[in-house]
Structure 1
Amino acid sequence: MVDLGPEAVPVHNGYRQEPSHVEGRRLLDRAARSSMTLSDPADGAYSETDPMLGERRLSADETDGREEDDEDEGPGSGVHNMPKESPLAMALQILVPFLLAGFGTVSAGMVLDVVQHWGAFQYITEIFILVPALLGLKGNLEMTLASRLSTAVNVGKMDSPIEKWNLIIGNLALKQVQATVVGFLAAVAAVVLGWIPEGKFQMSHAVLLCSSSVATAFIASLLQGIIMVGVIVGSKKTGINPDNVATPIAASFGDLITLAILAWISQGLYKYTYPYVSSLVCAFFMLLTPLWMVISSKHPASRTLLYSGWEPVITAMVISSIGGLILDKTVSDPNLAGIVVYTPVINGIGGNLVAIQSSRISTHLHFHCAPGEVPDETKGCYYPCRTFCGTGANHRSAQVLILLVVPGHVIFLYTIHLMKSGHTTLTPIFMSVYLATALLQVLLLLCIADWMVHSMWRSGKDPDSFSIPYLTALGDLLGTALLALSFHFLCVCWSTCSTGLCCGPAAGVSRGAVVVGHQESVTFLSIFVAARQVVLRVFSTSADRDTCLPTSAPTRC
């Protein structure tokens, strides 16, 4: 019997569901059950969310009976509830994958620091434009897959073996289609962005870029997808919330695997004397695309995304390519060669943290809100305090994630220093500027994630498939741009190498090498002048940037 009178609705994770919302969801679900099926998701109003949740979204009967079931049935009843965690448990679950992901990005930075001197990277500099776009595949594809499957685990869609394997096979096939297409488009973007400033085009370079990008995207995506499925299935069996561990582990070795494959393939094709080999490699992987499309279209879980999931993936690739252009132009300045080893670290850590938050918010919305409706607390104009100030589950996770930034980056900086990689030394000034840059990047990303995920849910799009590509791409762009600005600032701010950077040949070693200088007092006037020089320096030509004072003068750019 249903009580039509008003009743108190419990608060879930800081959000209160109003009776009118429950009633509205009851009507939506009854209409959905009578007019929509998994095999024909396009007939509904919110098709992007249907492939993941299908008929498992809280229906009217489930909504009315859920509270009674929670009281009558024990923990082993099989009813799926939103995972509840204390901040300490959440931090402990996030910490280990976060550190693994961080060390993976550190390894990727060290690899990039070495391979930047290889022949392929020296003579085909557009490969640097490919790096953020291909490393961003973990956000476009791997983290999106992890978020979708994590949500499926939490709402009970992977309890049945048949449902589980349908989800896994369909999503893996979809991911291979997207990886191949995005790899090809990333190469085209690299060719165009490399051609615009210089006005030079070489067909042999373009073919090598396409074959390297497509082969790298395909192989890396397949390997990481298999690892990701194993992690999520293992998390389910061990009782760990996959939202906390899946997305960081997706990126733990993703950067390293992708960068190593890219360097190996591009260098191999560069050394190979027969030019048609590059064309054959590209054609082989492109011809496999129809096969993956057929497999993906046979599974309802991926059929809709096969047609509607391209917008965020391609847009994210373009955004990451712009970050790659910034990296390419920064690396071309020998004075700033040290930026290479830190770029994968700051981009990877920012993307990992914001992907965790996005996945958690998405899971919360799948549990407590119908598509198109958001909690009352998130309605109206966005303000940053909404993300961090509060006691709800999403507020606590944002607070935990922002607290991990500084200690995490300190560990990774000292790891790079102990491995004697890069062209910088860890002076207090350098560490302060670097940590401030990393903290600003993550603050911006968490605020953007809070606004973006709720906005997408309000418009009927599934945040698991649409938000993470945008967020990780913005992380790449913000990280590369802010890091380049901080290196420019350090290089022009102080006249000696006390910043940890040596920005000229006057130090008696090669430009970009490590020397330890004495600390100088810095006045507010010198900082103001340095800020002005940063603006001029960013828009100057590479020839102007290489001009320094004579070697008899103190080192200054």
Structure 2
Amino acid sequence: MVVTQINMEFRFRGGKLRGFSCEMFRSPNGFIPESLTSIILQVLFPFLLSGVGMVAAGLVANEVQHWKVFVEIKELLTLVPPLVGLKGNLEMTLASRLSTAANTGIIDDPQLQQIMISSNLALIQVQATVVGLLAAVVALVLGVLSGENIEFSHIGILCASSVVTAFLAALFLGIVMICVVMGARKLGINPDNIATPIAAMLGDVVSLCILAGTSHILYKYTDQSYLYPTICFFFFSLIPMWVFIAKQSPIITQILKSGWLPIIIAMVLSSIGGLIFNKTITNLKFSGMAVFTPVVNGVGGNLVSIQASRISTYLYSWSTPGVLPNSMKSVCPNPCSIFCSPEINSVSSRVLLILVLPGHLIFLFIIHLIEDIDIKISTLFVVLYLFASMIQVLILLYIAEVMVRLAWRWSQDPDSCCIPYLTGTGDLLGTSFLSLCFLLESFFLKTKLENPNMENP
């Protein structure tokens, strides 16, 4: 193996670089492309497994939306997409960073491995605590702007539930991601292909269960108003310790200083999607929204995270930050070149697109088998749903290509700054398109009832 020093020194020398630093290990021939078959084989099983997790999350959401705490505190529904989306902001970003480190050989050094693991875990605990509280604040603001009457006693429950959920989910999923990447490295599997789907599989259902359980318990103590600020203060008091641990790594120190904008913007995008989710359920009475939202958002975020992680690894293997390889000179490429060229990144984008329709059909079938009594899935809805899902993924894959190239040209780390934007955009697009599917289905069915001579759609 040849050790190549790239424009991100791991041993920090003055902190003047805009990127971050590490040593990259690669073979003398450079990046070794994977075949179409190997990509499909490595992506397919984790993708289907993650889909099952998303379906489970949808079924949990469909159940808990009727709990008293969710009925009384409607802002909790607004919190669902941003808190579930934290897996894209934090755990998928962590998985992408570790996957790049694994594929470039950095993680094979025992000393660097220990620093990388501990500092990354500490980083996501800081981010989860802060963003958890911000998500609750944004949910409250959106609720006020949309005309909701918010009781003062509900504010504490919302904030405490959000902080506890974000912290515990980040801790659990962070440990799982480290185990997955390390295991994939030992088995000779590309972690870019499996780490983010596994984060998606566990992230949705774990976050939803923690949010539902925490809010349900805290709702029983509404008369003890001091409890909620105490909980928030406890988790925020741990931040200095996490910062101290995170600063072991110059890379993570840099992210700790400059990596907040992507996750905050992603959280705001997911929160807007959460408001649409809330209004669609409470005002339009489309209860099936709770079942399908985690699936639509999860599949889109899952697939685009795989692609962003792969492109990032490709760039680290072929080039240095600030310099795009010859095959990627254009920052805003022709869409045909992204989906139809023989380049390895185009091949993987086609693989991911191929998975969209059969994957969603399988997930719809599972939902139909489990929820066939409560939720009727019409042929019209299936057609609209599949069309919306394909458009969502097409848009996200193109944005991923452009965003990663821009980040690289600006000497930013794509692993840390791109995936949050992409998953936040995926949540907003997915929730909006799904709501539109329900509205269109309702419109066509209403039109058919008013005009019974029309053909059955």
Tell me the TM-score range normalised by the shorter chain.
Answer: over 0.9
Structure 2 residue matching 1:445: 3-state secondary structure: helix
How far off is 1:297 after superposition? Answer: 1.2
Contact 1:341 1:422 in 2 (8 A): no
Give, in angstroms, the shift of residue 57 of structure 1: 6.9
Give the Cα–Cα distance (whole angstroms) in 1 for the partners of residues 16 and 226 of structure 2. Answer: 47
Please give the alpha-carbon distance, in whole angstroms, between the structure 2 residues aligned to 1:144 and 1:251.
12
Correspondence 1:4-83 to 2 at 5 A = 38-40=11-13, 42-44=15-17, 47-50=18-21, 54-56=22-24, 67=28, 81-83=30-32
Residue 300 of structure 1, CA deviation: 2.3
Kindly tell me the number of residue pairs found equivalent between the two proteins. Answer: 451
* Aligned twin of 1:391: 342
Question: Counterpart in 2 of 1:283?
Answer: 233
In structure 2, how many angstroms separate the alpha carbons of the residues matched to 1:296 and 1:496?
Answer: 59
Give me the whole-angstrom Cα distance separating, in 1, the residues matched to 2:94 and 2:424.
16
1:200–1:107 distance in 2 versus 1, CA, 3 Å: same
For residue 275 of structure 1, report the CA deviation from its aligned partner.
2.4
Deviation at 1:334, TM superposition (A): 4.9
Letter of the 2:19 partner, please give it: E
**What is residue 320 of structure 1 aligned with on the other side?**
270
Q: If the length of structure 2 is used for normalisation, what is the TM-score?
A: 0.94
Which structure 2 residues correspond to residues 425-464 of structure 1 after superposition, within 5 A?
Answer: 425-464=376-415
**Contact preservation (8 Å) 1:316, 1:469:** yes
1:521 aligned to 2:452?
A: no
Residue matched to 1:510? none
- Label 1:383 to 1:519 Cα distance change in 2 as closer, same or farther (>3 A): farther
How many Å separate the matches in 1 of 2:88 and 2:453?
Answer: 40
1:509 aligns with none
Q: CA RMSD in A?
A: 2.2
Q: 2:194 maps to what in 1?
A: 245
Task: Write the deviation string for residues 302-324 of structure 1: whole angstroms up to 9, x where unpaired.
Answer: 11111011110111111111100
Extract unaligned runs of 5+ from structure 2. Answer: none
The percent identity for this pair of structures is 47
Q: Which residue of 2 aligns with 1:375?
A: 325
Deviations 1:103-159 (A, max 9, x none): 111000000000000011001000111111101110000000000000000111011
SS at match of 1:56: strand
Aligned ranges for residues 322-401 of structure 1 at < 5 Å?
A: 322-380=272-330, 381-401=332-352
Counterpart for residue 74 of structure 1 = none
Deviation at 1:279, TM superposition (A): 2.1
Query: Which one has the largest radius of gyration?
Result: 1
**Cα 1:479/1:519, change in 2 over 3 Å:** farther
Change (3 A) 1:154 1:310: same
CA drift of 1:42 comes to: 1.9
TM-superposed CA distance for 1:198, in Å, is 1.4
Equivalent pair of 1:170/1:301 in contact (CA under 8 Å):
no
Instruction: Say which SS state the counterpart of residue 395 (structure 1) adopts.
Output: helix
Superposition deviation, residue 90 in structure 1: 0.7
State the secondary structure of the residue aligned to 1:336.
coil
Q: Check whether the contact 1:126–1:190 (CA below 8 A) recurs between aligned residues.
A: yes
Residue 205 of structure 1 deviates from its aligned partner by: 1.2
Is the alpha carbon distance of 1:428 and 1:389 closer, same or farther for their aligned partners in structure 2, counting shifts above 3 Å?
Answer: same
Structure 1 unmatched runs, 5+:
1-25, 59-65, 71-80, 499-505, 507-517, 524-557
Establish whether residue 109 from structure 1 lines up as the match of residue 62 from structure 2. no
Does the 8 Å contact 1:313/1:469 carry over to 2? yes
Q: Which residue identity lines up with residue 468 of structure 1 in the other structure?
A: I
- Deviation string 1:51-78 (CA, Å, 9 cap, x unpaired) is xxx23377xxxxxxx64xx5xxxxxxxx
Q: What is the aligned partner in structure 2 of residue 162 from structure 1?
A: 111
Distance 1:245 1:461 in 2: 24
> Structure 2 matches for 1:401-420, cutoff 5 A?
401-420=352-371
Cα distance, 1:440 vs structure 2:
0.7
> Is 1:176 the equivalent of 2:149?
no
Instruction: Normalising by structure 1, report the TM-score.
Output: 0.77
Alignment partner of 1:310 out of 235, 243, 260: 260
Tell me, in whole angstroms, the C-alpha distance in 2 between the residues paired with 1:497 and 1:415: 28
| Contact residue 110 and residue 422 of structure 1 kept, 8 A | no
- Cα distance in 2, alignment partners of residues 354 and 91 from structure 1: 15
Query: SS at 1:198's partner residue?
Result: coil
Question: 3-state DSSP class of the match of 2:420?
Answer: helix
